[in-house]
Amino acid sequence: MNGEEGAPGASGLDRLASVNLNLLVPLLALLEERSVTRAAERVGLSQPAMSHALTRMRRLLGDELVVRQGAGVTLTPRALELITPLRDVLQRTAQIVDFPSFDPATDRRVITVAMTNSTAFVVGPRLTRLVTERAPRATLRIRTITVPSEPTFTEGGVDVVLISEGHYSPYPRERLYDDRVVVVASPDTPPEASALDLLTGQPHVIVDTERRVFPYSVLEDEGIPYRVGLRVSDFLLVPFHVARAGGVALLRYRVAATMRALAELRIEEFPFPLPGLGIDMVWNPRLADRQFADWLRELLRDAAAER
């Protein structure tokens, strides 16, 4: 073979012998988390050790990688270019090394699921019990969110996000369970009163927000009069106040049915057609452990199954 084209090391692979490849995992964690503290927690390093690794990475790549900007940090253009190829290389490396299969009986990972307060109210307790039973050495972390933003799906070590089908996701989603809006009222309301009678004749308990709350927009479009009697800041206080102090409210059925086990509630179907309000699973696109993801998917489905 002529020239240098086929000579050993011509591709630069020989230079890897002088590079500490152990830096690549914390480098990816740092670029994805954009925080020395969170990256250190993710890869199991102390914060000083992570800071030392950052210094070495900067020296190796000849770039600052992350720069402080106000209260946070931002990535350099070079760092942004590195994320996709670095993630691909490490995922391929994990497949080559063929790490031992995920074993829920012995795994000690932190399982992080992000969801709203109301979804946590529905599936949280049973999910906790199932993790305790099936992965006794793991730790479950439930992160509560309101309206998800794009970083919700990738930051904070989240494995999966549970969101309403009406919320946007930049990543693929799959249905966990279907839900619908119902009318809830005190059990003391006249039994002959229809759902529409309750909506027009009882004071409403609603979440205190400036947004036009669905499905009140449907009532307004239908010309249905209603009066707000109480505004509360916490969604889960709504059915509790209705059960104990009277009034009427619009809730997801699964929340109302779960609350009914704690306080008496009357539940009626909403009197007008509405689109679905299913809850979807959106997986962190950085989650490379497919066996763990399949296990967690089954666990979530069991936790969400109606009983």
Q: Is residue 204 part of a domain?
A: yes
**In this structure, are 53 and 90 located in the same domain?**
yes
Domain boundary among 68, 97, 126: 97
Q: Is residue 172 part of a domain?
A: yes
Task: Over range 62-71, report the average pLDDT.
Answer: 85
**In this structure, are 171 and 55 located in the same domain?**
no
pLDDT at 12: 63
Residue carrying structure tokens 């793991």: 138
Q: Is residue 5 part of a domain?
A: no
pLDDT at 200: 96
Instruction: Give the pLDDT band of residue 99 (cuts 50, 70, 90).
Output: low
Residue 7 has pLDDT above 60, yes or no: no
Residue 64 has pLDDT above 50, yes or no: yes
Domain boundary among 97, 120, 138: 97
Q: Is residue 86 part of a domain?
A: yes
Question: How far is Cα 104 from Cα 101, in angstroms, rounded to an integer?
Answer: 10
Tens of pLDDT, residue by residue over 109-132, are 889 999 999 999 999 999 999 999
pLDDT at 259: 92
pLDDT at 71: 67
Greatest Cα-to-Cα distance within the chain, rounded to the nearest angstrom = 95
Question: How far is Cα 162 from Cα 120, in angstroms, rounded to an integer?
Answer: 9
Print the domain residue range for 241.
181-269
CATH number of the domain enclosing 45 = 1.10.10.10
**In this structure, are 170 and 193 located in the same domain?**
no
Tens of pLDDT, residue by residue over 139-179, are 999 999 988 888 888 877 799 999 999 888 988 999 999 99
Residue 9 has pLDDT above 70, yes or no: no
**In this structure, are 186 and 263 located in the same domain?**
yes
Instruction: Give the pLDDT band of residue 192 (cuts 50, 70, 90).
Output: very high
Q: Is residue 15 part of a domain?
A: no
**In this structure, are 165 and 285 located in the same domain?**
yes
Question: How far is Cα 215 from Cα 205, in angstroms, rounded to an integer?
Answer: 14
Domain boundary among 64, 97, 130: 97
Residue 8 has pLDDT above 70, yes or no: no
Q: Is the peptide bond before 215 cis (omega within 30 degrees of 0)?
A: yes
pLDDT at 33: 83
**In this structure, are 114 and 137 located in the same domain?**
yes
pLDDT at 68: 84
**In this structure, are 187 and 136 located in the same domain?**
no
Give the rounded percent of residues in the chain with a pLDDT score beyond 70: 91
Task: Over range 81-108, report the average pLDDT.
Answer: 80
Residue 90 has pLDDT above 50, yes or no: yes
Residues paired with residue 139 on neighbouring β-strands, in sequence order = 110
**In this structure, are 81 and 52 located in the same domain?**
yes
**In this structure, are 120 and 195 located in the same domain?**
no
Degrees, nearest 5: CA angle 111-114-168: 135
Tens of pLDDT, residue by residue over 254-299, are 999 999 988 899 999 999 999 888 999 999 988 878 889 999 999 9
User: How confident is the prediction for the chain on average, in pLDDT?
Assistant: 87
CATH number of the domain enclosing 286 = 3.40.190.10
Residue carrying structure tokens 């799906």: 153
Task: Over range 209-216, report the average pLDDT.
Answer: 79
User: Comparing C-alpha atoms, which of 210, 260, 207 is closest to residue 235?
Assistant: 207
Domain count, the chain: 3
Q: How many CB atoms lie within 10 A of CB 143?
A: 15
Helix (H/G/I), strand (E/B), else coil: 247: coil
Degrees, nearest 5: CA angle 285-289-292: 110
Task: Over range 179-185, report the average pLDDT.
Answer: 96
Q: Is residue 265 part of a domain?
A: yes
**In this structure, are 171 and 300 located in the same domain?**
yes
**In this structure, are 282 and 296 located in the same domain?**
yes
**DSSP labels for 217-253?**
HHHHHTT----EEEEESSTTHHHHHHHHH--EEEEEH
Q: How many CB atoms lie within 10 A of CB 123?
A: 24
Question: Dihedrals φ, ψ of 260, to 5°?
Answer: -60, -25
**In this structure, are 244 and 282 located in the same domain?**
no
Q: Is residue 6 part of a domain?
A: no
Q: Is residue 7 part of a domain?
A: no
